[in-house]
Amino acid sequence: MRIIFMGTPEFAVASLEALIQSGEQVVAVVTAPDKPAGRGQKMHESAVKIFATQHNIPVLQPVKLRDEAFLSELRSFQADLQVVVAFRMLPEMVWNMPKFGTINVHASLLPQYRGAAPINHAIINGEKESGVTTFLLQHEIDTGNILLSKKVIIKETDNAGDLHDKLMVAGAEILLETVQQLKAGTLQPKSQDDFIATTSLKHAPKIFKEDCKINWHQSNEAIYNFIRGLSPYPAAHTLLNDKVLKIYATEKEYTHTTALPGTVETDKKSFLKFATQDGYIIVTELQLEGKKKMDIIDFLKGYRF
């Protein structure tokens, strides 16, 4: 098959690399345009572009996916199949172009956790398992017919970064299997409606900064899951002496307390904890506004309450 790969972040690179190493013919890559980043505002290339360039694969970086010049160039590669991993929403004129259509690798067990942030929301909701799904693109986002899926266990200590890495590997594996079965003609797409009939759906909308504020009136379990579900990015936050404090790692302490939720307790040497509905959340890794990320011991050595 002649395959066009569409993706942008590091998560997508594993799938692209798997296709190349398995001998599949990736004739072009479509990724996000370069953009300025950092203090110096230097132009930043996507992880997928960097990898594709290293492997001499033509790279397309359209600003608008409906642009006729881009569509014409896309057609010129005469792809049999398009593969999408962590890319933006495609118009029908793009996803319907190849003979075998366009397949997407999604970081959840569809139809659960449709949306932009399935990894974060699965952990925030305290799920014990997640997974990856390949499906055929159609009009509504993340609703196409399912091809294959694979489960991944979530440990109680996993954060969003840990699950990201697990699903990145599983996604590459399930993509290869999907492409091989497509070529063999053995795949039988299944409608997501068949799964929806037996379960209630959980969604995974995009997460914004204002969504990351910690509510200390919740239980230890809910707050612990919230923090690890947003770690390392975009990071849960609260206020400490009127400065934004990002929290990356915590432990739970269950105890009866009369302290108001959100009250800070510390010995100024070894621990910092916040009162909750049913105990305390003990902070072990954090970052104060204007400072670097550090563990709690280093933080307390330099912080003046």
Q: What is the pTM assigned to this prediction?
A: 0.94
Instruction: Note the pLDDT of residue 38.
Output: 74
Residue 91, preceding peptide bond in cis (omega within 30° of 0): no
Which DSSP category does 303 fall into? -
What b/e string do you get for 114-133 counting C-beta neighbours within 10 Å, with b at 16 or more?
bbebbbbbbbbeebeebbbb
State the pLDDT at residue 194.
83
pLDDT of residue 155: 98
Rg (CA), the chain: 22
Q: What pLDDT does 37 receive? A: 78
The C-alpha atoms of residue 245 and residue 223 are separated, in whole angstroms, by 15
Domains (range + CATH), the chain: 2-196 (3.40.50.170), 209-302 (3.10.25.10)
Q: What pLDDT is recorded for position 41? A: 76
In angstroms, the CA 131 to CA 154 distance is 9
Alpha helices in the chain (DSSP H): 10-21, 47-54, 68-76, 92-95, 118-124, 160-184, 193-196, 220-229, 296-302
| Cα distances (angstroms) measured from residue 197 to each of 191, 192, 200 | 11, 9, 8
Taking 50 as the pLDDT cut, the residues of the chain under it are none
In eight-state DSSP terms, residue 190 is: B
On the 0-12 / 13-18 / 19+ scale of CB atoms within 10 A, 19 is buried
Pairing of strands 81-85, 102-106: parallel
